[in-house]
């Protein structure tokens, strides 16, 4: 084949190649070891003189042209094929329901973790104590006298060995004071919370459970005062409810605090206007609290003339009910997965 | 307790005050107000009317046709009351007025026009009496507004009794009036009473007692009490405050109780000469006023009239001592008893009365005399013919000490964090009845008797008095100045949180909470037989008395109750278990209990899933894989062959088991159930493995796959001793590739060898393999190479 013939054939084959594989085959056909152009270059050895030089230049020019054409064709075809691939691609529907099932945490765990995180960030230690305690820790050390109604059989579960199930997380106050009280002289305040399960011997209904959670909090130092108590309660509750919670204190009587308070928060449902949930008062009773009674400090080995402190007993179960809108307190210990599996985060 | 603002106004002039706002302040400063009821606002246009004529309705057996003079005109009224008759004076609701909030208009009743309505006491909200229309005093002028005749308009508010438990002084209107006086700065008026000394010359009532349950007993006698019915204002106040008017003497005892907080008892003066207050050694039965027989023993103080028990002291009178309607003579008791003793009696008898509720708050014995003098003052006003025939005989056994408290202003400031001025402190305490002497910034405070019975005894109590009246709303919120230092969660708490995250988030289990006691009925249903354990002595039901020694039974109740929830689910609880008996202190442990339920996977898969969960937890918390040693289970609900004890770093900390087939089949024949429990209390003691960094090998390693034809019943933990119990410095890891075979257990493991400084030679690897195979052959396992 002469150059013209090769040129013609080259343009035909490149033209007709519609797949990258065909381009490759054609390339071998022209530029491979036995390809037309390679052969033509080999044929130069039979030519001589001026003609050899001219022909040689022409064939080499053709070779470069062929290489460029093949490269160009290959790029074009690849682009075409990729486009075709995209065009042929299916469109997946991610809007179909997610089949993945999730595990769940108990609502008390969720609320408790939240409170623990908030108080930890403010320097409170998170304490752990048992559910079984004794008369001293649950009552005596808390300035609750022998014939106080709280000690009645109808309120407290007594065990046959003389111990009892703790009726409030305040039962840990004495232990906390004894554990950390020695640090006070070194200038380290006592800051502790204790989330725990409590037991009251009463009939259950939608609003009453014999087994429920509280979170005790105590802070003791040289000059802890009522203004501090209001500050910490307001900060904590505003974090939990993710809004600026209004709080108010009113007198409440608990033997282990003096002054003692009931802490109310502004009703989230009506915003304080008054609604059935808050009995039209605009306020919800949330948490008994107060300044730790001097007798309680003394029982904990702390000098009430030197130190003051506040304590609160936040109802975690009640908090979870308010936060999630749980109407029946019995749902917490029901083990009913149809309800509990909602608490995924 | 219900409080009448009209009554409060007797003692403190609140005219010009915003009453609803004041009641709100009372909630914030004193005690919680639960409800406020405005009385009389739903009544208007009711006037005094005179029935001129009364005829029977021609077509009705009940209705009367009346003509009534209402002052400015005579109107026709159709009335159904049986007591309607000509000549009586009635309360007439006129056209345009309203009763019970309902407007009164002209109405046609059975064909006759009625221009008004004759009202019953109930319709005017004055009592529950609704049998007939109210008959008024004939001296009243027709057309007079009924509100000028009766104090119908009032504001009643209800105080939560629980918020009064520590305030014996607030169980009567006078104490509450004192609070309003302090809150408004207005003066408190004295209670009008007789003077005891005016009657001192009269004979004494015979009173005998030495019992320490009695603090004080005041008695007085009166005769010639000709009136029997209480004035309307007394009846209305009693009714508004929740009591039923009965007769003059009974009403007055109640009236003084609601006014001063002092319970009183009126004995029929004809029946009682001498009073003795004592306890009886021998138990007996006593019939109380309500007709119930009560078992009395030597813990109950009794009031005896002429040697006959006639009242349970501080709780309730006897049926026989009830004052007869025809009596004209009285022996009045105004006494004070030991609070705890009254509470015990009240609880024991299951009888809580207005009197016992007050006594158990520790009443002020000083008030007993005041109340008796008040009662007689009222009686003489209402029935001037009354003759007091004894002195105010006073048996005062126990006085309370009157505390005198000294403090300085800095003490208050320390509690408040703000500066409440000295003048405010003095003014507040004085208005509440405290005696205050000030010297510079130092105060000496004398507690009034009505606050001295238990309520106020120390400095901190006075802080409350000052701050509550100052108003907690007036406090700023200020952070504490205490130094900060780092806090770290405890290991136990971290373990608990990690376990919950792994179980819920990675393995999709559900966290549940159950109870600290077993449910013996459910145990029976599920055929769970559990060892005896420490019990609650006063459980609500006998089914709930045994404390749980293991987490699994409660989880199994839930598995059983959730069968309809899905084919596969896993639940867990972090809770406490208790072990003990009546002779020893309980041992309490924090535990993680797990139960996996599946109808779609087989037993083996589920068991290994549980094993993976436990391993994920131990690796995340201690960096260590758990070891499982097959054991004979202690618990009857564990599988006799497939129960393993869990060890971490050689320390036992729980078990994993297939649920015993008997119990499993009781729950669900078609499902598989795996249970596991980790003792988190013991687990917290296990040290973690510290991380130390190893560079990945720079030189290629050599993997060697070895198939070990082990006996069918052999355990991997035994086979692996072939390489774990000898030194192989180049053996970096061993992974399980496969286990197959029916008659033998062919275990294929991949042994990976490498060295940090060079490429190992095949000869070096072969030396390790030879050691391993020779150890295997010591175990009786021959490897063909």
A161-183 confidence digits (pLDDT tens):
999 999 999 999 999 999 999 99
CB contact under 8 A, B487 and A253: no
Predicted pLDDT of residue A285: 86
Q: Where are the beta strands (DSSP E) in B338-408?
A: 387-388, 393-396, 404-408
H helices of B150-247, in order, are 173-184, 232-240
**Long-range contact list for B439-445, CB < 8 A, 24+ apart?**
B441/B408, B441/B409, B441/B410, B442/B406, B442/B407, B442/B408, B442/B409, B443/B406, B443/B407, B443/B408, B443/B409, B444/B404, B444/B405, B444/B406, B445/B404, B445/B405, B445/B406, B445/B407
Nearest-by-CA chain A residue for B479: A228
Distance CA A269, CA A241 (A): 12
Interchain proximity B508–A211, CB inside 8 Å = no
The average confidence (pLDDT) of chain A is 91
Partner residue opposite B514 with nearest CB, options A101, A146, A335 = A335
Q: How far apart are CA B55 and CA B327, in angstroms?
A: 39
Contacts of B36 in chain A (CB under 8 A): none
pLDDT digits (tens, 9 = 90+) for A8-23: 988 898 888 888 888 8
Mean pLDDT of B106-135: 90
Residue A178: per-residue pLDDT: 97
In which band, very low, low, confident or very high, does the pLDDT at B651 lie, cut at 50, 70 and 90? Answer: very high
Set of chain B residues whose Cβ sits within 8 Å of the Cβ of A228: 417, 478-480
Contact (CB<8Å) B163/A253: yes
| Span B615-634, average pLDDT | 95
Q: Summarize pLDDT for A54-104 with one digit per residue, the tens.
A: 888 888 998 999 899 999 999 999 999 899 999 999 999 999 988 778 999
CA distance B27 to B104: 38
Chain B interface test: which of A289, A293, A337, A342 (most B C-beta within 10 Å): A337
Does A251 contact B497 at a Cβ distance shorter than 8 Å?
no
Asked if B756 and B716 touch (Cβ cutoff 8 Å), the reply is no
Establish if A152 touches chain B: CB-CB under 8 angstroms: yes
Instruction: Give the closest-approach CA distance of A94 to chain B in angstroms.
Output: 23
- Say if the Cβ atoms of B540 and A201 lie within 8 Å: yes
For residue B725, count other CB atoms closer than 10 A to its CB.
8
Looking at chain A from residue 255 to 274, which residues have their Cβ under 8 Å from any Cβ of chain B?
A: 258-262
> Tokens at residue B144, please?
């007079």
Question: What's the mean pLDDT in B462-490?
Answer: 93
Q: Return the ∠ at Cα B158 (arms to A207 and A326), rounded to 5°.
A: 20
Of A24-33, A246-255, A268-277, B213-222, which range is least confident?
Answer: A268-277
Label residue B785 by pLDDT band (50, 70, 90): low
Mean pLDDT of the B418-427 span? 95
Q: Which residues on A lie below 8 Å from B562 (Cβ)?
A: 335-337
Under an 8 A CB cutoff, do A201 and B513 touch? no
Using a CB–CB cutoff of 8 Å, tell me whether A159 touches chain B.
yes
Percentage of residues in chain A having pLDDT higher than 90: 62
Mutate to test the interface with B, among A157, A272, A276 (most CBs of B within 10 A): A157
pLDDT at B742 over 90: no
> How much is the ipTM here?
0.87
Average pLDDT over chain B, rounded to an integer: 94
Q: Please report the pLDDT score of residue A153 as a whole number.
A: 62
Determine whether the interchain pair B537/A104 forms a contact, defined as Cβ–Cβ distance below 8 Å: no
User: Is the Cβ of A98 closer than 8 Å to some Cβ of chain B?
Assistant: no
- Tokens 């198939």 -> residue: B707
- Cis bond upstream, residue A259 (ω within 30): yes
Q: Distance from B477 to chain A by nearest Cα, in Å?
A: 5
- How many Cα atoms within 13 Å fall on the side-chain side of residue B17? 20
- Return d(Cα A114, Cα A133) in angstroms, integer: 26
Segment B550-565, tens digit of pLDDT: 999 999 999 999 999 9
Inter-chain contacts counted by CB atoms under 8 A, chains A and B: 223
What are the distances in angstroms from CA B306 to CA A247, B177, B293, B617? 59, 39, 21, 79
pLDDT at A27 over 80: yes
Choice among A22-26, B322-326, B430-434 with the minimum mean pLDDT: B322-326
Do A131 and B534 make contact, defined as CB atoms within 8 angstroms? no
The token duo for B614 is 């436990």
Asked if B484 and A123 come within 8 Å (Cβ–Cβ), the reply is yes
Chain A contact probe: residue of B21, B419, B486, B510 with most A CBs at under 10 A: B510
pLDDT at B109 over 70: yes
Mutate to test the interface with A, among B34, B513, B517 (most CBs of A within 10 A): B513
Binning pLDDT at 50, 70 and 90, where does residue B784 land?
A: confident
Inform me whether the pLDDT recorded for B655 exceeds 90: yes
pLDDT of A284: 87
Contact residues, A window 197-256, toward B, CB-based 8 Å cutoff: 197, 199, 201, 203, 210-211, 219, 221, 223-228, 230-232, 234, 248-253
Partners of A113 on chain B (C-beta within 8 Å) are 497
pLDDT tens, A144-164? Answer: 988 777 676 668 999 999 999
Domains assigned to chain B: 2-40+155-184 (3.30.56.10), 44-152 (2.40.50.140), 196-396 (3.50.40.10), 404-474 (3.30.56.10), 491-683 (3.30.930.10), 702-778 (3.30.70.380)
pLDDT at A297 over 70: yes
Q: What is the pLDDT of residue A154?
A: 66
Between A285-289, B361-365, B612-616, the lowest mean confidence (pLDDT) is in: A285-289
Chain B residues within 8 A of A197 when measuring between CB atoms: 516, 575-576
Q: Helix (H, G, I), strand (E, B), or coil: what is residue A53?
A: helix
Tell me if A258 and B581 make a contact (CB, 8 A cut-off): no
CA A169 to chain CA mean position, Å? 27
Tell me whether residue A215 is exposed, middle or buried, using C-beta atoms within 10 angstroms of its C-beta: 0 to 12, 13 to 18, 19 or more: buried
């Amino acid at each position: 084949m002469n150059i013209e013939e090769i040129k013609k054939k080259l343009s035909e084959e490149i033209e007709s190649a519609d797949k990258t594989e065909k381009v490759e085959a054609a390339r071998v056909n022209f530029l491979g070891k036995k390809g037309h152009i390679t052969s033509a270059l080999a044929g130069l050895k039979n030519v001589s003189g001026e003609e050899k030089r001219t022909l040689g230049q022409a064939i080499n020019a053709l070779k470069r042209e062929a290489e460029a054409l093949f490269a160009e064709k290959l790029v074009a075809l690849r682009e075409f094929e990729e486009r075709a691939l995209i065009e042929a691609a299916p469109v997946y529907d991610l809007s179909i329901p997610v089949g993945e099932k999730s595990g769940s945490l108990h609502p008390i765990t969720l609320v408790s973790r939240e409170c623990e995180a908030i108080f930890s960030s403010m320097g409170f230690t998170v304490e752990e104590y048992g559910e079984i305690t004794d008369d001293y820790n649950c009552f005596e050390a808390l300035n609750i006298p022998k014939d106080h109604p709280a000690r009645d059989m109808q309120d407290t579960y007594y065990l046959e060995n003389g111990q009892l199930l703790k009726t409030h997380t305040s039962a840990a106050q004495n232990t906390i004071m004894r554990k950390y009280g020695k640090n006070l002289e070194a200038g380290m305040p006592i800051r502790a919370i204790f989330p725990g399960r409590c037991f009251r011997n009463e009939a259950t209904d939608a609003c009453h459970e014999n087994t429920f959670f509280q979170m005790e909090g105590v802070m003791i130092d040289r000059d802890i005062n009522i203004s501090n108590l209001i500050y910490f309660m307001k900060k904590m509750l505003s974090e939990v409810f993710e809004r600026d919670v209004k709080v108010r204190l009113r007198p409440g009587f608990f033997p282990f605090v003096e002054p003692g308070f009931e802490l109310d928060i502004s009703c989230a449902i009506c915003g304080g206007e008054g609604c059935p949930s808050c009995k039209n008062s605009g306020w919800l009773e949330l948490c008994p609290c107060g300044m730790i009674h001097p007798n309680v400090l003394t029982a904990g080995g702390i000098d009430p003339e030197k130190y003051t402190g506040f304590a609160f007993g936040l109802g975690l179960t009640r908090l979870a009910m308010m936060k999630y809108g749980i109407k029946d307190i019995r749902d917490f210990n029901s083990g009913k997965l149809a309800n509990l599996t909602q608490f995924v985060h | 307790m219900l409080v009448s603002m009209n009554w409060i106004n007797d003692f403190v002039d609140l005219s010009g005050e915003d009453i609803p706002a004041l009641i709100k302040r009372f909630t914030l400063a004193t005690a919680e107000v639960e409800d406020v009821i405005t009385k009389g606002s739903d009544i208007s246009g009711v006037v005094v009317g005179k029935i001129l004529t009364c005829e029977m309705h021609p077509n009705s057996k009940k209705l009367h046709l009346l003509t009534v003079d209402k002052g400015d005109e005579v109107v026709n009224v159709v009335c159904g009351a049986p007591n309607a008759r000509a000549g009586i004076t009635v309360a007439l609701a006129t056209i345009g007025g309203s009763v019970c909030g309902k407007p009164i208009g002209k109405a046609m009743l059975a064909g006759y026009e009625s221009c008004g309505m004759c009202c019953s006491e109930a319709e005017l909200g004055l009592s529950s009496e609704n049998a007939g229309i109210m008959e008024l005093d004939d001296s009243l002028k027709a057309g007079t507004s009924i509100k000028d005749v009766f104090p119908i308009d009032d504001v009643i508010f209800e105080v939560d009794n629980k918020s009064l438990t520590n305030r014996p002084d607030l169980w009567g209107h006078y104490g509450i009036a004192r609070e309003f006086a302090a809150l408004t700065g207005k003066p408190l008026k004295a209670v009008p009473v007789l003077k005891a000394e005016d009657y001192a010359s009269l004979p004494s009532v015979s009173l005998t007692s030495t019992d320490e349950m009695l603090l004080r007993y005041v008695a007085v006698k009166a005769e010639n009490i000709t009136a029997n019915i209480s004035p309307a204002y007394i009846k209305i106040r009693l009714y508004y405050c929740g009591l039923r008017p009965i007769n003059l003497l009974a009403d007055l005892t109640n009236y003084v109780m609601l006014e001063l907080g002092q319970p009183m008892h009126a004995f029929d003066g004809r029946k009682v000469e001498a009073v003795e207050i004592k306890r009886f050694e021998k138990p007996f039965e006593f019939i109380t006023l309500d007709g119930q027989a009560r078992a009395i023993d030597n813990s109950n103080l009794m009031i005896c009239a002429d040697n006959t028990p006639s009242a349970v002291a501080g709780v309730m009178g006897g049926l026989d001592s009830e004052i007869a309607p025809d009596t004209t003579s009285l022996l009045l008791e105004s006494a004070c008893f030991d609070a705890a003793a009254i509470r015990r009696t009240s609880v024991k008898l299951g009888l809580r009365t207005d009197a016992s509720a007050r006594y158990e708050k520790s009443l002020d014995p000083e008030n007993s005399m005041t109340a008796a003098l008040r009662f007689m003052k009222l009686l003489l006003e209402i029935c001037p013919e009354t003759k007091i025939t004894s002195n105010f005989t006073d048996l005062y056994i126990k006085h309370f000490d009157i505390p005198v408290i000294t403090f300085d202003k800095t003490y208050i400031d320390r509690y408040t964090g703000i500066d409440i001025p000295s003048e405010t402190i003095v003014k507040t305490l004085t208005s509440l009845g405290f005696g205050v002497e000030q010297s510079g910034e130092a105060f000496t405070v004398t507690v009034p008797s009505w606050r001295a019975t238990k309520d106020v005894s120390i400095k901190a109590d006075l802080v409350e008095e000052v701050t509550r009246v100052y108003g907690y709303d007036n406090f700023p919120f200020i952070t504490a100045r205490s130094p900060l230092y780092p806090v770290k969660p405890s290991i136990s708490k971290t373990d608990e949180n990690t376990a919950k995250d792994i179980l819920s988030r990675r393995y999709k289990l559900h966290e549940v909470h159950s109870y600290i006691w077993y449910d013996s009925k459910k145990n029976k249903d599920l055929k769970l037989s559990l060892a005896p354990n420490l019990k609650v002595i006063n459980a609500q039901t006998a089914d709930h008395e045994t404390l749980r020694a293991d987490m699994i039974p409660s989880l199994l109740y839930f598995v059983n109750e959730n069968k309809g929830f899905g084919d596969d689910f896993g639940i867990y609880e972090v809770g406490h278990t208790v072990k003990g008996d009546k002779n020893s202190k309980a041992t309490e442990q924090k535990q993680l209990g797990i139960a996996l339920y599946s109808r779609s996977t087989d037993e083996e898969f589920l068991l290994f899933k549980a094993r993976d969960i436990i391993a994920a937890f131990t690796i995340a918390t201690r960096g260590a894989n758990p070891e499982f040693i097959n054991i004979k289970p202690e618990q009857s609900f564990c599988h006799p062959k497939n129960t393993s004890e869990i060890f971490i770093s050689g320390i036992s900390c729980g078990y994993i088991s297939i649920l015993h087939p008997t119990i499993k089949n009781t729950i669900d024949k078609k499902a598989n159930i795996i249970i596991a429990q980790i003792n988190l209390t013991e687990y917290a003691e296990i040290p973690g493995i510290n991380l130390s960094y190893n560079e990945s090998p720079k030189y290629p390693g050599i993997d060697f796959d070895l198939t070990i034809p082990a006996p069918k019943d052999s355990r991997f933990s035994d086979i692996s001793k072939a390489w774990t119990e000898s030194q192989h410095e180049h053996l970096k890891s061993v992974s399980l590739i496969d286990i197959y075979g029916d008659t033998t257990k062919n275990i294929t493991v991949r042994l990976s060898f490498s060295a940090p400084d060079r490429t190992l030679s095949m000869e070096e690897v072969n030396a390790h393999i030879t050691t391993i195979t020779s150890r295997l052959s010591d175990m009786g396992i021959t490897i063909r190479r």
